[in-house]
Amino acid sequence: MLKRSDMTRALDLTAAPGAGPVRTRRPVYRDLLPPCNEACPAGEDIQAWLALAQAGQYRAAWEKLVEANPLPGTHGRVCYHPCESACNRNELDDAVSIHAVERFLGDAALAARWPLPRGAADSGKRVLVVGAGPSGLSAGYHLRRLGHAVDLHEAGPVAGGMLHFGIPAYRLPRAGLAAEIARLEEYGVRIRRDSKVEDLLALREAGGFDAVFVAIGAQLSQHVGIPARDAARVLDAVALLRDVAAGERPLLGRRVVVYGGGNTAMDAARTARRLGAAETMIVYRRDRAHMPAHEFEADEALSEGVKIRWLTSIREIAGPDLTVERMAIDAEGRPHPTGEIETLSADAVVLALGQATDSGFLARVPGLVRRPDGTVEVGPDLMTGHAGIFAGGDAIPAQRSVTVAVGHGRQAARQIDAWLRGATHEEVPPPSRVGFAMLNLPVFSDADPAAQRQRPLAERDGFAEIAEGLAEREARREAQRCLSCGVCFECDNCWAACPEDAIVKLGPGNRYRYDYARCTGCAVCFEQCPCHAIGMEPEPAEG
């Protein structure tokens, strides 16, 4: 591993002697970008709320978290946590279980009924939000925080969108989701359920709305032309999950085949098992390395007895018989037919081939451009080609996930706020990212990760939640595993190491300052900082 002294030489800051009669460089305290923060699509300051949680300041940690994300209990359960993939702790043992601590804080807030922090004074502006899925809920919350009145129109009887109708209850219990949505309504986000928008411009004019955010979900299933005669029951995955979420129990038979390789296919297959299917098989035309589903989603499906036939494509459905063809993957990962034909049997076939956006009601909006899959084209500010109408989440061409959608809602709120004020919102460029090689860590680690307990496989015959939350002691211990990459956490290493007593402690929470009259520029503090929150800069020119 590259040592800090080696890095200093690599930066050419020690080419001339730093210490001595003439100081040629000086240390400075500076916060850099933790990789978890950089990787979070919702824009959370993960390092900051973890620091508060590890100190036992749970309410303050939750309040810091909801500055970016109003649904932490939900996200702690369903986010695919790219922050953990980026976590520098992976180089030591295992990533900090950020999602588990986030879930702990979200659940603690609901149990204690902590209110959302007050926002800005009322602006007198009104914003229409179309769609009460994660992006619309996020936008509504952030717009309200900025002082704007929000009317959120939801076509269905329940808010939450695909959070409610697309994610099975064994992953996301509905009570917690409903409670977090209710808290948004208490905050002042007005949600009109069973209010499908047919004519957007007419509604905008009639309601006196100053701006619009379109946050409709992708709830239309995509289909392929598979010949079917006297077919077994053929369903689409989105409809199946929606029916089950509404309390229905569709009869699928003993043998179920799910066609597709995304997260929805995994959820549909696991749901079929819970509906009584004795054998559930996922058929996917690519191999595991090229599946769109997250790795852990496939692992969980396999652990529950779901079988997966990779490199297999359905050619025809005739009664209970499915004609399938073996595929081969080329160097670019594209599947090609081999001519090898087999027959499978199924009582029901569930198509999980992706979703499209139902944006037909936007066809009459001048300047707004729709793509063939129903998504809407937007600029960097998330505004469509029609002034004052913005869009995000599944309504625009982007990666589709709950966390990305929530991030779009936050970004849109800032852009809408700026537009309403006749200004332009520019994101501040983030500081440099801190990689693992930049840290100066102890040679050992004594903080083992806290594992979330799982419901035993034998007890997963219903839709009760699978993963348990962390206890308070476990959550705090997990937060303490954070390395605070790039951000000073007042460990006193620099203060203790300085040979010139040039570092002044400013008290808890206030960090330190340098007394440059004493500092020789020796860089001992720089080399002792475990989180790379000190930099060495050339001595500024006089005058």
pLDDT digits (tens, 9 = 90+) for 345-385: 999 999 998 887 888 899 999 999 999 888 999 999 999 99
**Quick check: 288 pLDDT over 90?**
yes
The predicted model gives 332-355 an average pLDDT of 92
**Quick check: 343 pLDDT over 70?**
yes
**Quick check: 17 pLDDT over 50?**
no
Q: How far is the C-alpha of 152 from the C-alpha of 192, rounded, in Å?
A: 6
pLDDT band at 13 (very low <50, low <70, confident <90, very high): very low
> Which among 58-62, 236-240, 464-468 has the top mean pLDDT?
58-62
Between 319 and 49, the higher pLDDT residue: 49
pLDDT at 232: 65
Q: How far is the C-alpha of 366 from the C-alpha of 413, rounded, in Å?
A: 23
Kind and range of the H or E run holding 283: strand 279-283
pLDDT at 446: 62
| Residues 406/65, Cβ–Cβ less than 8 Å | no
pLDDT at 5: 40
The predicted model gives 31-58 an average pLDDT of 97
Of 151-155, 219-223, 335-339, which range is least confident?
219-223
* CATH number attached to the domain at 229-352: 3.50.50.60
**Quick check: 119 pLDDT over 90?**
yes
Calculate the average pLDDT of the chain.
91
**Quick check: 510 pLDDT over 60?**
yes
The predicted model gives 164-170 an average pLDDT of 93
Position of tokens 């995994």? 266
Q: How far is the C-alpha of 264 from the C-alpha of 261, rounded, in Å?
A: 8
CATH homologous superfamily for 126-219+357-420? Answer: FAD/NAD(P)-binding domain (3.50.50.60)
Q: Would you say the CATH fold of 229-352 matches that of 126-219+357-420?
A: yes
pLDDT band at 452 (very low <50, low <70, confident <90, very high): confident
Position of tokens 């004519």? 199
* CATH number attached to the domain at 4-31+488-538: 3.30.70.3270
User: What is the percent of the chain where pLDDT is above 70?
Assistant: 94
Domain boundaries defined on the chain: 4-31+488-538, 40-114+455-479, 126-219+357-420, 229-352
pLDDT band at 2 (very low <50, low <70, confident <90, very high): very low
CB atoms within 10 A of CB 187: 18
Largest Cα–Cα distance of the chain, in whole Å? 92
**Centroid of chain to Cα 475:** 20
Q: Please state the length of the chain.
A: 543
pLDDT at 443: 58
Complete DSSP assignment for 484-531:
-TTS-----HHHHH-TT--EEE--TTT-EEE-TTT-----HHHHH-TT
| Residues 232/198, Cβ–Cβ less than 8 Å | no
Strands (E), 62-185: 126-130, 149-153
pLDDT at 20: 56
**Quick check: 156 pLDDT over 60?**
yes
pLDDT band at 451 (very low <50, low <70, confident <90, very high): confident
The topology (CATH level 3) of 40-114+455-479 is Fumarate Reductase Iron-sulfur Protein; Chain B, domain 2 (1.10.1060)
pLDDT at 227: 72
The pLDDT tens digits of the residues spanning 48-96 come to 999 999 999 999 999 999 999 999 999 999 999 999 999 999 999 899 9
Distances (CA, A) of 461 to 159, 271, 478: 27, 10, 31
Kind and range of the H or E run holding 326: strand 321-329
The predicted model gives 289-298 an average pLDDT of 92
| Residues 52/401, Cβ–Cβ less than 8 Å | no
The pLDDT tens digits of the residues spanning 373-420 come to 889 999 999 999 999 999 999 999 888 899 999 999 999 999 999 999
pLDDT at 8: 40
The predicted model gives 277-293 an average pLDDT of 94
